[in-house]
Structure 1
Amino acid sequence: MAKLPRIMLAPNGARRTRADHPALPETVAQIVAAAKAAHEAGAEALHAHVRDAEARHVLDAGLYRELTAEMARVVPQMPVQITTEAVGLYSPEDQRALVRALQPEGVSVALREMWPEPGPDAEAQRFYTETEAAGTALQHILYAPEQVTRLATLWSEGLIPAPRQVLFVLGRYAPPTLARPEDLDGFLKAARALPADLQWAACAFGRTEQACLRRAAELGGGMRIGFENNIERPDGSPAEDNAAQVAALVGALRDTPRPL
């Protein structure tokens, strides 16, 4: 996944379950089915979270191997990006162990989780360096412009390889904070200190998801969409499923100016 897709599906995330929406995929079979339907609607890649038998978020190498094998069988043209999201359950050591065990095609890593404290962190530095050397496409997850600035500082000081892919997170899951299209401005201003060939995408919490992603498309960015961030249509009514959300975004993008 050396090149970020225009539209990446994030069908479940780490927190929501079928109690929140009956179409949210939890099992490997459900995730693959949701990915296949979303791919047919226009999604190009999968941002994957796996769940245990009780539908709890887990960083489980075996489940990820099962998922990636099924994706290769059912939707081989859809790359898989795994997550290292901690959700307060996993340490940086756990996250690094998962990536080392799987050597995935793509992985998302939150800077604030992998390198939580200011100052030197030899283990985090080694992780970023070896992941780059392994050819894994690492997408840095950034929750505020200040984190973009910190990422740029780590790069400029030679502590991490040049960032190639980032995700700007607009809004919040908890406490619930509705994303706004103008939230992108601060991220993009801070990103001027990152490499000129940086690939970026955005995701957005709540019913404003589509408006935020259209704004990202206008500015030349990628879009991550799905029930991880939002289970509502723009009017606030319940979404049908992930594929319907992707189809609605693709339809809306036909009227969205493309970047020059």
Structure 2
Amino acid sequence: MATGTLITVAPTGAESTKAEVPALPVTLNELVTTAKECEALGAAVIHVHIRDDQARPTLDLGRLRDTVAALRENTDLVVQLSTGGAVTDPEADRLAVLEAAPEMASCTMGTVNFGDDVFLNRWEFIVDLHGRMQERGIVPEYEIFDLGHLTALQRLLDRYGLPAGGHVHVDFVMGVPGGMPGTTPALVACAQALRDLPEGTTFSATGIGRSTIPVLLASLSAGGHLRVGMEDTVTYAKGRPVDSNMQLVARAVGFAQLAQRTPLRPDEARKLLGIPPRAAA
């Protein structure tokens, strides 16, 4: 059973628009401000999507490098870049994300229906992404949208070896239309399936939309960690929009403290995830 709670904030994503969600952080300044606020509350990792000057999702490498540099300069958070981007992004652009040299990056373990779209993750692409992260010393977070993705992860590790840092950490993304439901039985099934992965494997869980609170509570009770943020929900309660990512992090911190599982600091998160300590400036 975990004794501390790793809290990841996913502040932006690629689905919501600034026009629909004015509080969404889409500029670099907004993202850095959000990161500092959420770190002060108890977040240890930031999962990053970026936007262009028109607030549209982008994987522009120059912007990604600037974002990583700014977050490192202004926070101690573990910087985790999304290699998923938007569902329309080509594989070459998704692989190039690693050239921005984050400490962590996401690695989605299979294709999934994503609302009215398809989030395509071919086996060959997954193998390529995993290998490039090994070569660069980038620690993956394996994104699991359905139970079968854990079987794919077992196959990946058996054939191609452990990730950089030697520790396996997964994130159960639950409640996406087309993926597994955001329910306690689904989370328990995934947690039990982790027995087939290397000893010491840890997990976080993400509840999309209305599944946010049920997944948060189920993950804590099962010894898992938490990912929250406006990428995953823009509603704090029924009929009440989220005002900021701080609200969602504060709620997660409160529940973690009630469970007597204090939020981990960024340096503790690095130790857990197999990430080298950040060099002193």
Q: Which residue of 2 aligns with 1:224?
A: 227
Offset of residue 87 of structure 1? 2.5
- Cα 1:216–1:176 change in 2 (3 A) is closer
Number of aligned residues = 249
Distance in 2, Cα, partners of 1:15 & 1:249: 22
Distance in 2, Cα, partners of 1:187 & 1:175: 17
**Residue 80 of structure 2 is aligned to residue 71 of structure 1:** no
Percent sequence identity over aligned pairs? 27
Task: Give the equivalent residue in structure 2 for 1:151.
Answer: 153
Distance 1:153 1:25 in 2: 37
Decide whether the 8 Å contact of 1:26 with 1:50 is kept in 2. yes
Letter in 1 for 2:204: A
- Structure 1 residue 21: Cα displacement: 1.9
2:170 aligns with 166
Q: Is the 8 A contact 2:182 2:214 kept in 1?
A: no
Q: After superposition, give the CA deviation of every residue in 1:8-44 in whole Å (9 maximum; x if it has no partner).
A: 1100101112223221111111111111111122211
Check 1:252–1:161 CA distance in 2 against 1; reply closer, same or farther (3 A cut): closer
- Could you say which residue in structure 2 is the equivalent of 1:87? 86
Q: Which piece of structure 1 moves more, 204-213 or 23-32?
A: 204-213
Question: Which residue, 134, 141, 144 being the options, matches 2:143?
Answer: 141
Which runs of 5 or more residues in structure 2 are unaligned? 112-118, 263-281
String of CA shifts for 1:32-78, please: whole Å, max 9, x gaps: 11111111222112111110111111112111111122212222x11
Cα 1:131/1:232, change in 2 over 3 Å: same
Q: CA deviation at 1:186?
A: 2.0
Tell me what 2:241 maps to. Answer: 238
Structure 2 CA distance for aligned equivalents of residues 140 and 152 of structure 1 = 11
Partner of 1:204: 207
Q: How far apart are 1:80 and its partner, in Å?
A: 0.8
Structure 1 residue 203: deviation in Å?
A: 0.7
CA distance in 1, matches of 2:33, 2:204: 24
In structure 2, what is the Cα distance between the partners aligned to 1:246 and 1:117? 33
Q: Report the TM-score, using the length of structure 1 for normalisation.
A: 0.85
2:110 match: 112
The residue identity in structure 1 corresponding to 2:174 is: L
1:213 aligns to what SS in structure 2? helix
Q: CA deviation at 1:83?
A: 0.5
1:92 shift after superposition: 2.4
Q: Displacement of 1:129 after TM fit?
A: 2.5
Q: In the alignment, is the contact (CA less than 8 A) between 1:201 and 1:216 conserved in 2?
A: yes
What is the aligned-residue RMSD (CA, Å)?
2.6
The TM-score normalised by the length of structure 2 is 0.79
Which structure 1 segments of 5+ residues have no match?
A: none
1:131 to 107, 123, 133: 133
| 1:185 and 2:188 matched | yes
Question: Alignment partner of 1:97: what SS?
Answer: helix
**Deviation of the 1:236 alpha carbon:** 4.7
Distance 1:185 1:93 in 2: 35
